[in-house]
Each structure stands twice: as C-alpha cells, then as structure tokens.
Structure 1
Amino acid sequence: MALRPDSYVVLNDGHKMPVLGFGTYAPEQYTKEQAGEAVKVAIEVGYRHIDCAFIYGNEVEVGRAINEKIADGTVKRENIFYTGKLWSNNHAPERVRPALESSLKDLQLDYMDLFLIHTPVEFKPGDDPSPKDENEKVIFHNTDIRDTWKAMEACKDAGLTKSIGVSNFSSKQLELILSMPGLKYKPVCDQVECHIFLNQSKLLRFCKSKDIALVGYSVLGSSRAEGWIDQNSPQVLEDPVLNQIAKKVGRSAAQVAMRYLLQRGIVVLAKSFTAERIKQNFQVFGFELSAEDMKRLDGVNNDMRYLSIDSWKESPKYPYHDEY
C-alpha cells in the first residue's frame, strides 16, 4: 500500500481527508495554549488534518494556531482539513447549527471541513458533563438521532461544513441513519477508539461495505492521567509483539502501531505535545509492514477498550453494548 505524507482517502461525498491527522485533546496537565503551540508544530512538520472538538475547550487556541500558520504562509486554508464535533447537550435539532456557528466563531474559521456528532449519548440541553465527571449525575435525553442528522445535513447545505459524520457510533446506530427515510447525505466517517488491542476489524468491515471511512483515535493507547482510564490496563506501547516488530524494522513502537492501522485503511489521529514526538509520529510513510507482521499484530487484539465511560451506561444510546 503506497502511503505518502500527502495521502488521503476520498470520502463518500467526494471530499478528501488526509490519512494522518493531529489530535488536539489535551489532558489536564497541559494548558490550552500548549495545545495551540502543538498545532503550530504539527502544521510545520506536515500535518494537514487537524482534529478538535467543542468539549476539548481549546477551539480558540487551535483556531488561532491554524490562522497564524495561514498568515505566515506555511499553509493555505484550503490545504487544512479541520474536524470539529457537536457535543452531547446539543443534539436537539434546533441546537445543532448554533453550536456549529459558535465553534466557528471561536475558531475564527468560515467553515469546517468535517463536523461530527461526537457521541450518540445525549445529555439534557444545558448539562455539560465531560467523560471525567464519573460521579456527576447525568440526565440523559433521547432525541431521535435521525432528527439530529437532518440538522447536520442542513449545516452542510448551508456551507458551514463540507462533510458530516459521526463518532463513537456502533454499526446499529450507523444503520439507523443509513436507513432513514429521505437521507440526503451518508455519514462520511465514524471516528472511534482504535489500536492494536481494539483493532475494530468488524466495524471496519461494516464501514467499508457502506463506503464510510473509519477514523481511529487513542491509536497509541490512552494517557494514564485520564481519571476514567483503568490504571491497570495494559499499555499499547509496551506490548512485546509490537516492540519486537519495531526493533526488527528499525522504527519506534508508536510508528509501527500507527502504520498497522494505516495499512488496514484506517485514518489515524496521532496526539502529542512534544515537538520531537509530533515530528516522529509523522514519519510513518517511509516503511511498510509485511503481511506476516500485520498478521502478528492482528493477533494482539483482545477487544480491550480504554474509554468505556461507565457513568454513561444508563443512556438508551450507549454505543458499547453492541458487539461493534
């Protein structure tokens, strides 16, 4: 599979998404300003796909970084693929467009390249619990996701976003949208947790059959700083098989973990706040894993999820009760 730094997937609406993206979610030990600085480094290194979200709380800083790199001539706006997300308290159809417009104002951008429903789980409008608020009582709502999707379609028609998609949806929840009467635009992607321990092979097969791109986050595992992560869970970058292969091909464990997903046709989001690592994570195009290496890494999968968010299990839209 010939992958280059400028490789992209063609989405089902014709737009192009770079296969490697830069994630901007910052754990609490990092400031919003550091997230902005990391974005500038990422763009300088070569990333053209920037992934953010309202709930990350850093759209102002991320937008400022993008605009600074446009202003200094490093990149043009049309060469940046920006992804934003609709948070779970804005699923009511009348709240979708104002939420998108508010994010665009914070970003100082005229449009998003991709706008996602961040999670199928829906909160009471006005409630704003984040995943780390494990002890906070959440009031769940159950707006018909198809009504939310119609409002997303209207945002695309209005030119506020070029493409629309979903995140953290199961195949059954995707089917709800795909089978809805009067569907105008299919979701272009489903952004989900994906790594060697959770390789999403069944969901990937389903998405490919529907011409929906699979985008992976937490591809290198998840930070132990996150309060909702099991501190005893195994770490992706310490896996012995991954490290054996990395040593054999002369690459870092992170590079091999990312390359494994890329060769399977998954769009990869990498996240780091260290300049050297941001650069290293972009260097996944100069080598290829053999069929044997790929098969060995397939065998590491155990369907282990870092981000299950137990406090959301009471939601009628909780996605992880489904097999995939």
Structure 2
Amino acid sequence: MLDRRVFLATAGATLIAAPTASLGQTTPNKRLRIVVVANRYHEADGLTVALCNQMAHSTSLSFPHDVVWPRTFPPDPNLSSKPRCLIDVKKQPSDTDPSASMEIWCIDDIANVKGDSGAKVAAMKTITDFGPAPDGVIAFGTGGYPGDVSYDGCATIGGTIFMHDASNGAPGSWSWPGYMDTLVPSKIAGSFFSSVAADQKMLDAISLEMIKPKNNPAKVLELLIAPDAVAVCSVNEPPPYCDADKNSIAIAQQKGATNITSVETTHGVIRSMWDAPFMYVTAIPNRVCKFDEEARGIYAQEFPSSHNAGIALKYVIPSFVSAIAQ
C-alpha cells in the first residue's frame, strides 16, 4: 500500500522513458500516449487529488508514479519539463497489461503565461517534446455553464470545440487559422460519448464521489456527457468578459451548436496543438457571467469543482482508451 511518505518521496524522481511507437504502428503491445493538459495550477491540483487519493483509486488505473507534485507557482524551471505524474491505464481491470500511459500536465507548471493564448501554445511545446505524438489529448479546466439553472459542482465532457476571437483580430491576438468560428469535432467517434452517457452504473458511481461546492451547488451533482456537446472558447477576451462570452455563445449557436456545455478559453487552445482524438473535461464552478459572484478566488468552490471533474475523468479514461485503440 502506498502511504503518504512513500508517495511524496517520489516527487522529483527521474521520469521513465516515454513510449516511442507512433499511432500508425499497430503492434499488439503498443502502449498509447495520452496527454491530459490542465490550464491553471488550482485546476490541476483538484484533478491530481482525485487521481492520487487511495480512497478514490480505480482498479483500471495504476497508482501514480514518477510523481512531481506538489508544484509551486510561478513554476520551478528545474521541474517545468516534467508532467505531474504518469498513470498506467487498463481498458478492463482484469487486463494483464496497461493499454496506455496517461500523463498529467499543467500549463502553469511549465510557464507563467499570464493568460496569453499564444504563450500557452509556446509552453505546450514542452509536452510535445516529451515523447512521440500523442495518441489522445484531453483538455481539463474550469469553465462556466450557460443559462440560469446552476450546474455548479458538475462536470461536462464533450469533443467539439468552437473558437471565437473576442478581440476581432486586434494586433497581437492569437488565432487558429482555418478553424476559427467553426465547429471543430473530435476525431474520436460519437459512439464513445453515447456509450458513456448510457452507462448509468458509471454515472451513478461518479455522482457518489462528487463533493458539493459552497455557492449555489447544482441540485444533483453529475457528469454531463453527450456526442453533440460543444465547448465554446472565447480567446483574446477584452473586459467585460461576460459580454465577450455571451457574444461567442451566440455566434456558436448561429453556426449550429445546440448543446453548449462549457465556456472555457483554453480547451480550444489545447485542441489546436495536436491532431489526435480529443475530449474536453470541464469542471463547472459557476454559471456564465456569474464568476465573480460564485467562484472567483473561493477555494471551497473551485477545488470541489475541479476534484469532481477529476473523478469523472478517472471513470471515463478506460473507455476513452478503448475507443482510440480500436
């Protein structure tokens, strides 16, 4: 059994070699490379707790190894080239060998980007250089949920991104040429999202491990996942952010988005980095335009929300691996 002293003693250890096979190589023993990229350090802390806590351990996942956590912010340059931890993933608990290695990264661990999307892209080159091209990419972070009904404390998962430049092309703004103002689907099949949404046993297990946030919690804490779910990403936002977010949502709806479950800038920036099967995992601490009232700087709101999304990822990741291994 892994006790706290042994767990923390692994911090700073030399990481094992990353897998070297590419997606095109289909050897039976190939271990897929999955990168999970969180935006802010406090989001990644909630995720890491959910994955590392022994009471919440999944039999489909190894205990975290090559652990470099807790991490400081601003980042320590001696640690910035390393993920927080590695976790081996089995498609089924009874499998003899893992099918994938999941790397937990955080942009704040790599560089102090000060919210700049272009700087985030530059920072994520560290993740690219760590191993071969990822076989799967997961964007993790906190975001708002549109509408008046509270989903605070819930988690949402989807695959489609809609990115809008809220600055309208102001000098120095970042963009993803050819993909702005359009629905960008994931390369993972929609059946993956549908099958998870239909797995009531899994959804119930996720809900049982979720923690209620302090302010305006949802009536039912749950994972919201659907094949038509869309994350709206309003990049280069000038204040007031509420107006920019509402405008981006309206444009996404005009372009065909009917099920917006996340409004979070960095999901789309992460999506732009790699052409691989993708999903976003959004922790919901607040409603859109209610960040100041419900979430800003409130540990008891931000932490449980990030933790709950981490719990959702813990349960869903074996199915994600199975879907991209086909």
**What is the TM-score with the length of structure 1 in the denominator?**
0.28
More strand by share: 2
Determine which structure has greater relative contact order: mean sequence separation of CA pairs < 8 Å that are 6+ residues apart, divided by chain length. 2
Q: Which has the higher helix share?
A: 1
- When normalised by structure 2's length, the TM-score is 0.28
